[in-house]
Amino acid sequence: MTGSIIHNNGTAAQLDQVYKTYKMGTQEVKALSGVSISFQKGSFWAILGPSGSGKSTLLNLLGCLDRPTSGRYILNGHDVSTLNDDQLSEMRLKHLGFIFQSFNLIPQSTVEENIQLPLYYQGWDPDASREKAHELARMVGLESRLRHRPMELSGGQQQRVAIARALANDPAILLADEPTGNLDTHTSVEIMNLLQQLNEQGKTIIMVTHERDIAAYAKSRMFMRDGLIERIEGSE
Ligand code: ADP
């Protein structure tokens, strides 16, 4: 087991006085200046704020892609604040799903293979992982596209594949970075409806966006400024 276990019940992720400082030669840039917040299981958060306010830094920390300079991060009951790179990557594989603006699918692989990828890394039996990929493809409405490659799909369909892949390891949190940034308005609405549906089924979602109408799909909104949470809107 990675990280010490902390009993948490309803909390998917918790940040306590998290600071992140980047060193640029002799200069220090404070990206996060003491962020404390709990993300409850089943919540759906949008993180908003001007450019440079710390949104990406926060998402990178929540995604175990980086470590805080100081402070504590508890993910799904594990203290991950001080883990090494290998341990962080294990946490990502076991507890997190990622959705990106640019989908990040493997172009040479089929829909089925793309969805199976996290299961492959976890050593799943090929038959079981194929079956799981089919179930996930059905969930996102792509069961008839399993043999297609990403290039043969629309942007919205590619994002659906990415969402299915992000769900494959049954993550504690789905992290989305501008998930509709490359999609037209109609397709954005479809993708946000899908994320809302997944949240209604119990998935915890944290999404960075700069669009107010996209943030409106979340149940809670966090506004960041100068590396701090300026204000919170909505309910969990
Ligand atoms: P946002 O996503 O809200 O635009 P970021 O988290 O990317 O904000 O950046 C917060 C601050 O940290 C900015 O001042 C940015 O220049 C700085 N920053 C972010 N990443 C790095 C990095 N890798 N090295 C140095 N400074 C960084």
CA of 32 to the centre of ligand 1 (A): 9
What is the number of the ligand 1 atom nearest to the C-alpha of 56? 2
Task: Report CA(227)–ligand 1 centroid distance (Å).
Answer: 9
Q: What is the CA radius of gyration of the chain?
A: 18
Whether residue 208 has pLDDT greater than 80:
yes
Q: Which pLDDT does position 235 carry in this prediction?
A: 73
pLDDT score at 236 = 60
What is the distance between the alpha carbons of residues 221 and 236, in angstroms, rounded to a whole number? 10
Q: What is the mean pLDDT of residues 189-218?
A: 96
Show the DSSP H helices in 96-141 as ranges: 111-121, 126-139
Report the pLDDT averaged over residues 24-44: 96
How far is 108 from 150, CA to CA, in rounded Å? 8
The residue behind tokens 């992982």 is: 129
**Average pLDDT, integer, range 4-16:** 81
The mean pLDDT value for 100-120 works out to: 96
What would the pLDDT profile of 53-65 be if each residue is shown by its tens digit?
999 999 999 999 9
The yes-or-no verdict on residue 30 having pLDDT over 90 is yes
Tell whether ligand 1 has an atom less than 6 A from the beta carbon of residue 20.
Answer: no
pLDDT of amino acid 3 = 57
- Distance CA(138)–CA(231), nearest Å, equals 38
| Nearest Cα residue to atom 23 of ligand 1 | 22
**Mean pLDDT, to the nearest integer, of 150-173?**
96
- pLDDT value at 45 more than 60: yes
What one-letter code names the amino acid at 82?
A: T
Q: Which residue has the higher pLDDT, 3 or 146?
A: 146
Using the predicted structure, report yes or no on whether residue 5 has a pLDDT greater than 80: no
Tell whether ligand 1 has an atom less than 6 A from the beta carbon of residue 53: yes
CB-side neighbour CA atoms (13 Å) of 89: 5
What would the mean pLDDT of 130-159 be, rounded to a whole number?
A: 97
Q: Output the CA 57–ligand 1 centroid distance in Å.
A: 6
Mean pLDDT of 181-187: 95
Q: Is the pLDDT of residue 6 over 90?
A: no
Q: Is 209 in the pocket of ligand 1 (CB under 6 A)?
A: no
Percent of the chain clearing pLDDT 90 (strictly above): 93
Ligand 1: centre distance to CA 2 (Å): 28
Question: Atom 7 in ligand 1: which residue has the minimum CA distance?
Answer: 56
Contact between 129 and 120 (Cβ < 8 Å): yes
Q: Whose CA is nearest to atom 24 of ligand 1?
A: 22
Q: Report the predicted TM-score, pTM, of the whole model to 2 decimal places.
A: 0.94
Residue closest by Cα to atom 15 of ligand 1: 52
Residue in 29, 65, 66, 175 to alter for ligand 1 test, most ligand atoms within 8 A of Cβ? 29
Mean pLDDT of 81-92: 94
pLDDT at residue 163 in the model: 97
In angstroms, the Cα distances linking 86 to 36, 77, 92 are 26, 18, 10
Nearest residue to 69 via CA among 14, 113, 17, 106: 17
Atom of ligand 1 nearest to the CA of 57: 6
